[in-house]
Amino acid sequence: QASQARRVSEFRDRAHLTAHQLGELRTLVGSLREHNPFYRAKLADRSSEEATAPDLVALLRSLPYTIKTELIADQRQHPPFGTNLTHPINRYVRCHQTSGSAGAPIRWLDTPDSWNAMLLQWQRVFSAAGVTDEDRFFFAFSFGPFLGFWTAFEAATRLGNLCFPGGGLSSLARLHGLIDAQATVLCCTPTYALHLGEVAVANRIDLNQSQIRRIIVAGEPGGSIPSTRRRLEATWPKARIFDHHGMTEVGPVTYECPDQPGILHVMESSYVAEIIEPGGSDPVAPGELGELVLTTLKRPGSPLVRYRTCDLVMADTRSEERCSCGTLDLGLKGGIIGRTDDMVVVRGVNLYPSAVEDVIRRVRGIAEYQVQIDRTSALVAVKIQVEPDPAQTDLTPEQIATQLRQELQRAFALKFEIETAAPGSLPRFELKAKRWRTVS
């Protein structure tokens, strides 16, 4: 599969790539000063350095950050689409909306050119996954207002692949559909891929019957969490897992390295990526945890300049070298490690949902879980509900709870309250899983 996906970078070296980004960014900023009301206001008190900045770093430092709350406020003050539009409204042909999982939903518009650019980005994701024109796709989600569903589906059809939309079907119907259609590529969230495995077991469907060879997951960090990846591979024994991430307001951002599972490459011909200290502005060194900041180069009609994504990432220490897969694109080790707005501090310990999930998925016999953060007293407490997997008959619920308690204590040096739930009682998620809730 890796050899199928190998592709030499379109750039000779990092200097060539950086020069491309500098030219694109200069053009973008000049256009925004002239035509985009949102960024014209943000850039008004800054000198016009885009034409004379000696390098990419200098140009970036001359530009302000963009944060999501600004975009939400702009759309509230200027409904329905806000002022971050570079063209007249009749130039736009697509409207999508963020999930609202990190604030109020935002509407985002695209022109035919920016839409086509995102389809090419998705085709890069498929190329890295080793997809050929012989593959058949099954999209196991309901097609809502979010961007990723539509761009992935249309990109696959443009490649000439046979595509099956799974919207409006039950999980059992989707399983029968992907098996009957002999689909070879499954696209969904990692949580939903695991849920399909549960449904298969409950209905005595052997997933070895399926022809699924690749599962492209997105929407949550699970695809790059080692224990979740192993659980997915055990559930779908014929398939390799490929992670990916993107956002409605940014577009498709990364593809998984075909040579190094767990490394996500940023498509740097389409984005300028920075990794800065969380809550600060100084860059962090490769190998250090930081917040991913993105500038979009291929959506000039609805752009984002130095957008603080809140995603926590870590640049691969070999990020300045050409990867063994052939690309020069920045590698993110471990994918999306967490989010700055998801971190919970419990007795001085920073807890990230992805780190907790990694421990939970290592414990055999857990089908699903929920985390409750209790802030009703001075000391924050964490309670985890776990639903035992009925297929694991050699373990009692008490044994599962005890093992999980010990693993969490070992990982975080904290005591967790573990409670077992009845089989099938915890919610399942087709889209982004919402397993963490706070009581205050």
CA distance 325 to 392: 39
Residue 5 pLDDT > 50: no
pLDDT per position as a tens digit, 146-197 = 898 899 999 999 999 999 999 889 999 999 999 999 999 999 999 999 999 9
Residue 337 pLDDT > 80: yes
pLDDT per position as a tens digit, 9-62 = 789 899 999 999 999 999 999 999 999 999 999 999 877 767 678 999 999 999
Residue 10 CB neighbour total at 10 angstroms: 11
Rounded to an integer, the average pLDDT of 395-415 is: 91
pLDDT per position as a tens digit, 69-96 = 999 999 999 999 999 999 999 999 999 9
pLDDT per position as a tens digit, 309-327 = 999 999 998 767 899 999 9
DSSP track, 316-369: -TTTTSPPTTS--SPEEETS--EETTT-EEETTEEE-HHHHHHHHHHSTTEEEE
Contact 135, 103 (CB under 8 A): no
Rounded to an integer, the average pLDDT of 249-264 is: 95
Q: Which range (43-57, 112-126, 252-266, 411-425) has the least confidence? A: 43-57
Contact 111, 145 (CB under 8 A): no
CA proximity to 102, closest of 265, 292, 310, 279: 310
Please give the mean pLDDT across all residues of the chain.
Answer: 91
Rounded to an integer, the average pLDDT of 260-264 is: 94
Q: Which residues neighbour 206 within 8 Å (Cβ) at sequence distance 6 or greater?
A: 200
Contact 32, 83 (CB under 8 A): no
pLDDT of residue 1: 38
C-alpha Rg value of the chain to the nearest Å: 22
pLDDT per position as a tens digit, 339-386 = 887 878 887 788 888 889 989 999 999 999 999 998 887 678 889 999
pLDDT per position as a tens digit, 272-322 = 999 999 989 999 999 999 999 999 999 999 999 999 999 999 999 876 789
pLDDT of residue 80: 96
Contact 415, 409 (CB under 8 A): yes
Cross-strand partners of 312: 291, 338
CA proximity to 191, closest of 367, 388, 390: 367
